[in-house]
Chains A and B, each alone.
Chain A
């Protein structure tokens, strides 16, 4: 197993290297931070821009290939992912952003998975009942409603509550209130900031898992092996819980394993709407700000998260399905 994982990791490392290199070359030849500098007031001279960029390691006069080699060398030798046009260091910036994204998504993704799978099982066991219809219709509804609209609706709801109560219970944007320190007050402030985004991401997210788990379980409810289990003397519900559920969980486990690393990757809409400046919004901003190094770094990070998800999915499959054996 370990050998297999190492092998897969090796293959993914090569893939990440290739996509990142291609991404860098593409970014370096299309993004022109110098043009943005021209819009500053007072307008700097091109020579000033060039020299300030040269200091940041973003020399626009070098060929893309030369810059690529410099960039790669800095990463390999010093683990230095370069600097932004405004002078910020990617490395230090990055750590903060990942931590913000993780805090935003961690609780909601775990809730999404648990609620989604549980509701999937619940609705499959009661196929075509009123509960099943309501739950599944809801899942399809959030499936088709664009996420940003749902987030805004949740925000409006929270504001509504605040207004009705006449007191600010929920914060609809931001991570924390500056200045509040120490113990209980800080904790309450934390909850007030966390509640709205976590709730919004969760209610929109679980639909996918509910639909998948319901479908996979229904595929197995009438399977021959469930009938065998009933013939042994298990009741229908016991047979489904012990036999069908386990088999139907195999594909779901795979998609869950794939999702988990996404916690650290953040999401553009949620971060923008709730004003949590994590990796997701940073990656889009990087392009708007013509920031070659930040754009490439988020790309590399995204590929790594994807590879991690794929490896975890393989691992989860071998864990839950004895038919899959690694050679």
Chain B
């Protein structure tokens, strides 16, 4: 969105000023929560969802609440909104501008909801009523709190709001229904509804978790602007330490329903004093760091909320836990060791014994970076385990019920070629709709009739007409799925799950037994758990079972489809480390599809960036991520937030306009031209080239030997190719955003 979309206070419409701000003091907290406790009755007993949450939210400031699933962060936010079910038992105090909100009736609370405190929810797809227009839903928010406002004024205000959140042609869009909007657009509408009455507090519960990376960047930008516009204080709830790093002034870390550390963003990111926070920070891979080091795994899983812990709830997973940790739950106390760090609190008896240089990796005994036997061998000398030559998958778009006629073609995968060598991890990244999954499906289906050639360890799909060849291929290639719960049959014991692929190959009984015990050890599970059912394991353990199943037949290549995206951050690190270690020990190759670029950079050797069915950039992961050439790669990388407040606040980011176009509307020339920041800044003559010619993949060359280059095979090529005519072009200023310090 352009800067002029955000009007200054002076030029605000009268409609906007209808909300008369109460006299707010600058120093008094606008929202103050004290000793908040929430309990639910469940079939298994009382669930202690939130225990003793305290925080103060200052006007105009942003508080980040960070925690994994089940940490009580969402329950806290719903308690503030008064939206918990009536069966919830809530005690403590929630004050808005000094006025107690807890205990207010639904009707009395309605005066504050949407007017003083507004909320943005996680899933934009289900959060808007499908049968009402966008306009009606925004206007409803205005009507509730301004019954006297004229219809015309409300409509004008709704248009204004849609403009603020960057929805093009807002006047026409008022009549649109939610299903006519993409996820990112719907989340913008949600933000528009939330800021409609200029609330003093905005609660955002994982507002971008369901969105693609570039859309996440757009929405965060809108949220930032909405905050600037209304001057509201924001409570930002997230599990992603990157998302809050740039936004939050203060951060509260929650674990098992309790705040375990609180302080300014700098305190939390640079001087954590609670081992859980340290582990969490070390568990997240970073997209901006090239140096490879293992991630910090936090062993075990969060405790059950059914019992009130007698000691520190993190103690069972904490490497530093000792007797004193079990003697009573530690209170959230001010950290005294760091002078002048006023307000930094941690709930750890040892908080004061840590200093800033503590080595988290050593603390949590992160494994050393595994080295594969193939790492020393040049890539060209290793054999290919998978090769794709010009693979295409076009879906005809049909119309008509009885007699179908083709009205277009969806080019889901359009001429993709790459190869994977032994011992290598190759990743495909891109937004949803870019063709990653279709590419995987083409490989897994392995049909001779498919367009393009797929060769798996020497077996080509063109010669794989019979079941025998396909069986041989299955032995070479196995898959690990995204959702570990859905991928395991709940009626199979782990033993049966792991035995199935082996029985398929006709392995003997005794041998299967031996192999299964071996596999359990390999993936870090206890061999005596083989007779348990999947539901007796945690998510991370289930994914380990999924990996063990894939490895049962000793494949050469493992296809990983978003293997960690369904897992919590602390568990994710353990699985990533395991994958890394298995690759080195067994000489495996991986084909990884992931939307989390940080994970991709951490684990892969090579990467391909896909956009609308085509590879736009491919090469060595450090080259592509360190020196991206294609504007799309640059935008994608810039969209990933980094868990480092200083970097995050000062960096320049590219905010792409709009959504991924449907493959149907793909332009004739470069697919990306419509959203490209370089294209937007090009002179018309050059733009013509982008629109008419399709850019092939150019190799990156680099001039190292200076003058000598005239004679020799001068240009040393680097493992990186990109499909863009003007990689060095200026970026359009409109799409660049830098947040000034203190902005």
Contacts and interface: CB of A to CB of B under 8 A. Distances in A.
B193 A228 contact: yes
B127 A323 contact: no
Contact of B145 (A233, A320, A322, A323): A233
A133 to B, nearest CB: 18
A247 B130 contact: yes
Contacts of A236: 106
A225 B107 CA distance: 19
A233 B113 contact: yes
Interface in A201-260: 223-225, 227-236, 242-243, 246-247, 250
Chain A CB within 10 Å, residue with most, of B119, B129, B179? B129
B113 to A, nearest CB: 5
A233 B110 contact: yes
A228 B128 contact: yes
Given A228-B190, A243-B129, A247-B130, A233 B177 contact: no
Nearest to A222: B85
Nearest to A225: B129
A57 B82 CA distance: 78
B130 A322 contact: yes
A224 B179 contact: no
Nearest to A234: B144
B130 A225 contact: yes
Contact of B131 (A229, A320, A327): A320
A12 to B, nearest CB: 14
B126 A224 contact: yes
Contacts of A163: none
A146 B458 CA distance: 69
Contacts of B144: 232-234
B512 interface: no
A321 to B, nearest CB: 6
Contacts of A229: 129, 140
A91 B214 CA distance: 70
A227 B193 CA distance: 13
Given A230-B83, A233-B145, A323 B130 contact: yes
Nearest to B112: A233
Contact of B141 (A223, A224, A233, A247): A233
Q: Contact size class for B? A: 20 to 34
A250 B129 CA distance: 13
B423 interface: no
Chain A CB within 10 Å, residue with most, of B112, B123, B126, B130? B130
Nearest to B81: A231
A247 B131 contact: yes
Contact of A227 (B110, B111, B127): B127
Interface residues of A, number: 23
A223 B126 contact: yes
B115 interface: yes
A323 B83 contact: no
Contacts of A228: 121, 127-129, 190, 193
Interface in B180-197: 190, 193-194, 196
A225 B177 CA distance: 14
B129 A232 contact: no
Contact of B121 (A227, A321, A323): A227
Nearest to B123: A224
Interface majority SS on A: helix, strand, loop or mixed? helix
A231 B399 CA distance: 41
B114 interface: yes
Given A233-B144, A323-B177, A225 B114 contact: no
B325 to A, nearest CB: 39
A116 B81 CA distance: 35
A235 B83 contact: no
Contacts of A250: 131
B131 A232 contact: no
A243 B83 CA distance: 16
Interface in B90-139: 106-107, 110-115, 118-119, 121, 123, 126-133
A46 B196 CA distance: 88
A246 B113 CA distance: 23
Contacts, number: 79
A227 B83 contact: yes
B113 A231 contact: yes
A232 B128 contact: no
Contacts of B110: 230, 233-235
Contacts of A321: 130-131
A246 B144 CA distance: 19
A321 B179 CA distance: 11
B378 to A, nearest CB: 53
Contacts of B141: 232-233
B181 to A, nearest CB: 12
A91 B499 CA distance: 72
Given A229-B140, A235-B107, A322 B177 contact: yes
Nearest to A324: B179
B513 to A, nearest CB: 47
Contacts of B145: 233
Nearest to B78: A227
A232 B190 CA distance: 10
Contact of A232 (B123, B177, B179, B193): B193
B492 to A, nearest CB: 32
B131 A231 contact: no
Contacts of A327: 399
Chain B CB within 10 Å, residue with most, of A224, A228, A250, A321? A228
Contacts of A233: 110-115, 141, 144-145
Nearest to B119: A231
Contacts of B140: 229, 232, 234, 242
B113 A225 contact: no
Interface string B182-221: 0000000010011010000000000000000000000000
Nearest to B118: A231
A304 B118 CA distance: 53
Chain A CB within 10 Å, residue with most, of B123, B141, B145? B141
A229 B81 CA distance: 12
A242 B115 CA distance: 19
Given A231-B81, A322-B177, A247 B129 contact: yes
Contact of A225 (B118, B119, B127, B399): B127
A49 B189 CA distance: 79
Contacts of B194: 231
Contacts of B83: 227, 230-231
Chain A CB within 10 Å, residue with most, of B110, B111, B115, B177? B110
A136 to B, nearest CB: 21
A224 B114 contact: no
Contacts of B179: 322-323
A232 to B, nearest CB: 4
A43 to B, nearest CB: 55
A225 B140 CA distance: 13
A232 B192 CA distance: 11
Contact of A231 (B114, B126, B132, B177): B114
Contacts of A230: 83, 110, 113
B580 to A, nearest CB: 38
A308 B129 CA distance: 30
A100 B190 CA distance: 55
A202 to B, nearest CB: 30
A224 B177 contact: no
Interface of B: 81, 83, 106-107, 110-115, 118-119, 121, 123, 126-133, 140-141, 144-145, 177, 179, 190, 193-194, 196, 399
Given A233-B114, A234-B144, 16 more contacts: A227-B121, A228-B128, A231-B81, A231-B113, A231-B114, A232-B118, A232-B140, A232-B196, A233-B113, A235-B110, A246-B131, A247-B130, A247-B131, A250-B131, A321-B130, A322-B177
29 contacts: A223-B126, A224-B126, A225-B128, A228-B121, A228-B190, A229-B140, A230-B110, A231-B114, A231-B121, A232-B113, A232-B114, A232-B141, A232-B144, A232-B193, A233-B113, A233-B114, A233-B115, A233-B141, A234-B110, A234-B140, A235-B106, A246-B129, A246-B131, A246-B132, A247-B130, A250-B131, A322-B131, A322-B133, A323-B179
